[in-house]
Structure 1
């Protein structure tokens, strides 16, 4: 009975709604995109005997992967410990607590790698304290990108093929996994959306207001060779696009969705013969007191008009605080950095 419960109730919200956003642009609007890898990884681990009746699930996260794990472990009746940092918002904290998850907060960042490195160290300590534990390891577990094959199948069934996939990049799982599966049937362009001062595509690590995309450490699941183009979207542009998506399409999504929508709309308008899909990862309820609050936007200096388009850059290792883009060309990270910024490899 319990087994059927957790299999069925999370499956009901697993796949995205496919919504035409105008012309040749379609949105894949998820209730909670991270549920795709969380559900897949935990179910496979249980089948493989890695999760037993008293196993504690432990993971590092500051966002929606933790929520997805909490939903799944609550239905599986397994304890969950999430290692996070002070940036985790109060609304998410309350929901995690209601689902029975225990939060372990790292108060200070590591000298190198910031809070993500501090969280990884704390994660190792907790696992040492719990011999019967399982870590999904979203950044390095190949089952993360593999789980998105079901999303690719869903898109193909709904649209009869995709020419370009646009989406935010964090762990690398959703974009790499989905486009890899889509390319089994046809050539598909992949456009990744990152945050300025994220290391994922070459920027030096720095402070990031926009959460849910970007990273301070390079995840193993990010295969740079999958990407044709990369855009860096600053927070003001992402927030404005999030609100525009809500007003124009009645889609109540978070700011990572807004960032991806901004890029996808721009690219789709310049390639009218291509069928473009944008990944919209999660809903906007966590952001009602921030992104959806005009006073909060004004106070932070985020109430800026949207620019007409991105600024092309030739060196991905030099951050700019404007919306910018770089032709990645399905190349390995080292090859791009060596070509674009040879002094960085000396």
Structure 2
């Protein structure tokens, strides 16, 4: 009888999941499909903090999250033996909360809105600060302002440059902004003409649109993260929740990719752009898989109750003259690699005439 001998080293569950699969969908359209994209910066930031002496085995990690970044931190902290406190909101549904707690995290849920600008996300940040004051030996990864989150995506950019002779367009969902800023920033060193297309959602303030209720969680933001470099973007699209949900289901049906709704939003824009630019190579970033959304996006009864039933979506974006004119339909704006201040100032100048 032969004996099977295990040869080391094998990657653990965290390391094996930090990089995306690169998948050809059709023609020149490709997907960078992550199991859990936020796992990559969580691992990178915590490892660097340990190397720099900012973290010891007794240090408590404290962070704000709407779900995916918290899950990434919980997985890494479990592997490293670090205590973790996560501050979230009701978007963290009970199955995800149970998973976070199974991994050893303490979960604190904020239910009210902050009084000042920033809404529920600012309320979460305020509670993080209060908890930090009670834990002198603590470390806050700071997903919205710590530039180490940008640096984490150098590994993704390296994978892309090793896999494609050229890339014409990169389509990125934007939430904190670290993945789009990081991946595109590194890729522009190799391909300066690369077109970066940001995908936001209605109700988000990231690109100068009106603040409002966001039904598409994980995409957009109620505050402006410092890690987001607006000057990298060539154009921005805002996708309503209904369009994103329907296209997420279509992505699964047409390509057997079982992904979350931010991935559906990315696919919606990337497919449209690829169809209008035949011969171009387009890569859509897809942040997480669909398991968390089986009771929502993949549940017909829930879609019906919430007013998202039906698979009819807009086939073309509405070109708008300024983000301030954004309505509740798929919209597109030629950002032109400007800063946010420049775009906002442009609107103020027009209004003054």
Structure-2-length-normalised TM-score: 0.94
**Number of residues of Structure 1 aligned to a counterpart in Structure 2:** 343
For residues 121 and 43 of structure 1, the distance between their equivalents in structure 2, rounded to whole angstroms, comes to 26
Match of 1:114 in 2: 119
Structure 1 residues 195 and 345, CA gap change in structure 2 (3 angstroms)? farther
**Which protein shows a greater Rg?**
2
What pairs up with 1:31-180 in 2 under 5 angstroms? 31-112=35-116, 113-180=118-185
For residues 293 and 345 of structure 1, the distance between their equivalents in structure 2, rounded to whole angstroms, comes to 48
What's the offset of the Cα at 1:325?
0.5
For residues 92 and 337 of structure 2, the distance between their equivalents in structure 1, rounded to whole angstroms, comes to 33
Structure-1-length-normalised TM-score: 0.96
Structure 1 residues 224 and 6, CA gap change in structure 2 (3 angstroms)? farther
Contact 1:58–1:134 (CA under 8 A) maintained in structure 2: yes
> What runs of 5+ residues in structure 1 fail to find an aligned partner?
none
* Aligned equivalent of 2:270, options 260, 264, 269: 264
* Aligned equivalent of 1:17, options 9, 14, 21: 21
What's the offset of the Cα at 1:5?
9.8
For residues 218 and 300 of structure 2, the distance between their equivalents in structure 1, rounded to whole angstroms, comes to 21
Query: Cα deviation per residue 1:201-230 (whole Å; 9 max; x = unaligned)?
Result: 012221111000110110001110000000
What's the offset of the Cα at 1:156?
1.4
> What runs of 5+ residues in structure 2 fail to find an aligned partner?
1-7
Contact 2:197–2:235 (CA under 8 A) maintained in structure 1: yes
Query: Cα deviation per residue 1:44-88 (whole Å; 9 max; x = unaligned)?
Result: 000110001200000011120000000000000111000111221
Secondary structure of the structure 1 residue equivalent to 2:253:
helix
For residues 194 and 120 of structure 1, the distance between their equivalents in structure 2, rounded to whole angstroms, comes to 22
What's the offset of the Cα at 1:273?
2.1
Match of 2:197 in 1: 191
Match of 2:322 in 1: 315
* Aligned equivalent of 2:243, options 210, 213, 237: 237
What's the offset of the Cα at 1:342?
3.0
Secondary structure of the structure 2 residue equivalent to 1:26:
strand
Structure 1 residues 345 and 26, CA gap change in structure 2 (3 angstroms)? farther
Answering whether residue 297 of structure 2 is matched by residue 291 of structure 1, we say yes
> Does 92-101 or 299-308 show the bigger shift?
299-308
What pairs up with 1:209-220 in 2 under 5 angstroms? 209-220=215-226
Secondary structure of the structure 1 residue equivalent to 2:325:
coil
Contact 1:338–1:345 (CA under 8 A) maintained in structure 2: no
Match of 2:4 in 1: none
Contact 1:26–1:276 (CA under 8 A) maintained in structure 2: yes
